[in-house]
Structure 1
Amino acid sequence: MEILLTDRAVKWFEDELALESGDSLRFFGKTYGKTEVHEGFSVGISVEHPDADLLGKTVLNGVTYYAGAEDDWFFSRYDLVVDYDEKKDEPIYHFNSNE
């Protein structure tokens, strides 16, 4: 699994969550909502350091963005692309097949 973030998404996370170099942001699957590929589930985020088992990670401006192995059920078969929705002033998540 790859995790890709646009510059606009990175700026939003840094500004809204006051992320600094050395911080970590976890992406995970949560109940309720929907994504392009999941009905009844959406993407959750939390500022927390990763455990040893990761599905994917990327480091930008010293911040680690990752998904843990416990969320394989949610991210399996997809790469996560995070962009920024100007109208809603929030991140938007895209799932690209990696099969």
Structure 2
Amino acid sequence: MKIVISEKALHWFKEEVGLESGNKVRFFTKIYGTSPVQEGYSLAFTIDNDPGNVAVETVSDGITFFIEESDLWFFDGHDLYVEYNEAIDEVEYKYIKP
């Protein structure tokens, strides 16, 4: 599994969330919501500069984006692509099977 952060999504994280080099962002599963990979669950993020058991991570412009082992089940073998949606001015998640 891999995490891919688009340039526009990275810019959004910096501008809207105030992230800077050295910060760490954890993507995690939350109950309720919708996703194309797990019914009744969705994905969220939080700033977490003290990660636990990291299963996968990527670093973009000094910012680490990661998923802990306890949340891997959610992805069901899909890679996570984080992109920026201009229409709603938010990041959006795409799940792609390699």
TM-score bracket relative to the smaller structure = over 0.9
Where 1:95 maps in the other structure, the secondary structure is strand
Q: Distance in 1 between matches of 2:40 and 2:84?
A: 22
1:78 aligns with 78
CA shift, 1:37, in A, is 1.7
Instruction: Structure 1: state its 5+ residue gaps.
Output: none
Q: Which deviations, in whole Å up to 9, do the C-alpha atoms of 1:37-89 show, x marking residues without a partner?
A: 222111110000222x2221100110000000110221231110000111111
Sort the Cα spacing of 1:76 and 1:36 in 2 relative to 1 into closer, same or farther, 3 A. Answer: closer
Normalising to structure 2: TM-score of the pair? 0.92
After superposition, the CA RMSD in angstroms is: 1.1
Name the structure 2 match of 1:22: 22
- 1:56 and 2:45 matched: no
Q: TM-score normalised to the size of structure 1?
A: 0.91
How many percent identity over aligned positions? 38
Which residue of the partner structure matches residue 39 of structure 1?
A: 39
SS at match of 2:40: strand
2:73 maps to amino acid: W
Offset at residue 26 of structure 1 (A): 0.4
For 2:36 and 2:90, how far apart are their aligned partners in 1? 16
Which amino acid counterpart does residue 62 of structure 1 have in structure 2? G
Distance 1:54 1:29 in 2: 14
Question: Higher strand share goes to which structure?
Answer: 1
